[in-house]
Amino acid sequence: MLAGLVEKLREKLRDAGIQEAPQAIEVECDECQGRKRRAVKSCVKCLASYCEVHLKQHKTHKLTDVTRQLHKRVCNRHGRLFELYCRTDQQLVCPLCVTDGHSGHHTVPAVEERTEKQRQLEEAIRRSKQRSKEKEKELKNIMKHLKRSAQAVEEDSEKICTKLLRSIERRHTEVKELLRAEERAALAQAEGLLEHLDQQTEDTRRKEAELELLSHTDDHIHFLLKCKPLLVPADPDELPGVDVHPYFSLMVLRRAVTELRERVNDVCDRELVRISDLIKDGQSLSAESTSPVPAGPEMVSLLKSADQAQSTHGEPKTRADFLHFCCDVTLDPNTANSYLCLSEGNRKIFIRHWSGRTVQSAKPANEY
C-alpha cells in the first residue's frame, strides 16, 4: 500500500515537470510493462532489476545495488556476485570459486586487483608516452640532418658539375634530379614513420582518456571488466624504426660525383689532344706509344672518338684505314694460358713446350 502511494506521488511529480535528484546509475525496471519505472535494486538470483512495486516478491532473494548488465557480474557456476580476482587464471571469481575450481590459486579482493591494474595501466601509458616522445625527437633530428645533408650535397654537386665539360651538362641535370629524388624518398619515409608514430600517440591518448574515466568510478567490477583491453601494451617491435641509410646514400652520391670530376679531368688532360687530332686530321695514334690501353671512362672516350672517326671517314677497308684505330695492346699475365710466355712488356707472346722449352716465337700481340 505504502509503496503504491509513493509511486503515484512520483508519477504526479513527473507529470508536473518536477525532476527528482538523479541517481548515479539510471536503470529501468525489467518487470514494468509500457512505461518503465526506475529500478531501485537488482536481484542476483533472477539477474534482473526491479522498481519498488515489483521488488516485493524478491525481498527474500539476494539483492544488490542497481546495476546494468548484472549477468556479467554474477558467476555462471555458483550464481554469486564476483567479489574476488584470481591472479593465477586472470579472471573474476565469486567466494565459492575459491574452493571450487580455483583451490590453491592466488586470489585477492577485487578492489586490490583494481588498484594494481590501475597502477599497471598508468605505468604502461607513462612508458608509452616516453617512448613516443623519444622516437619523435629522433625522427625530427634525422629529418633535419637529412635536409642539411641533402642541401650540402646539392651545393657540392653544383660546384663539381660546373667544372665538367660542356658535353656532360645534361648529366649534371640528371645528377641533381637523382639527388632530389633521394631526398624526397628519404623525407617521405621519415614522414611516414612520423605519421605512424602519431597514430600510436593518438591511441595512447585514447587509452589515457578511457583510464581517466575509469579511475573515477567506484564500481570495482566495472573497472576490472573494462580495463582488460587497455592492458594490452604497444608492441615495441611495432614502434616505427629509424633507418638512416638515406644519409649514406647521399654521401655515396657525393663521392661518386667527386670521382667523376677527377676521372674526367684526368682523361681530358691525357686524351683530349689525341682524340681531337684523330677526329680533325684523321691521323693515327702513335705506334711507339708505351701507354697501356685505356680503361673505364678512358675507353669510353676512345670508343666515342672511333665512332666519330668512322662516321667521318666511312667504313674502314684498307690497312691504312684500320691504322687510324691502332694502339698498343698489352696482355694480362694473370689470365694467360700456361703454355704462353709473355715478354717485352707483355706485348709479345711465346709458346712454351710441355717440357718447359720455348719452341716457337709468336707475333707481337697487336698483330693478332
CA distance 252 to 246: 10
Antiparallel, parallel or unpaired: β 340-343 and 358-364: unpaired
Q: Residue range 333-357: average pLDDT?
A: 63
- List alpha helices for the chain, DSSP H: 2-15, 110-162, 169-215, 220-227, 245-281, 297-313, 319-322
Per-residue pLDDT at 363 exceeds 50: no
Residue 42's DSSP bridge partners are 49, 64
- The predicted pLDDT at position 149 comes to 79
Residues 219-264 pLDDT 10s: 888 788 877 777 766 555 555 555 545 555 667 777 877 887 787 7
| Grid cell of 192 as nine digits | 611516414
- The predicted pLDDT at position 232 comes to 66
Give the residue carrying C-alpha cell 512520483: 10
Give the residue carrying C-alpha cell 617512448: 131
Per-residue pLDDT at 43 exceeds 50: yes
pLDDT band for 117, please (50, 70, 90 cuts). very high
Rounded percentage of the chain residues whose pLDDT exceeds 70: 62
CA distance 43 to 53: 14
Dihedral angle of Cα 280, 283, 284, 286, to the nearest 10 degrees: -110
CA distance 102 to 285: 99
Q: Which amino acid, residue 165?
A: L
Structural contact between residues 298 and 267, judged by C-beta atoms closer than 8 angstroms: yes
Tell me which DSSP letter residue 34 carries: S
- Phi, psi (deg, nearest 5) at residue 172: -60, -45
Per-residue pLDDT at 84 exceeds 80: yes
Structural contact between residues 60 and 44, judged by C-beta atoms closer than 8 angstroms: no
Q: Residue range 306-318: average pLDDT?
A: 53
CA distance 63 to 42: 6
More confident residue, 87 or 218: 87
Rounded percentage of the chain residues whose pLDDT exceeds 90: 10
How high does pLDDT run on average in the chain? 72
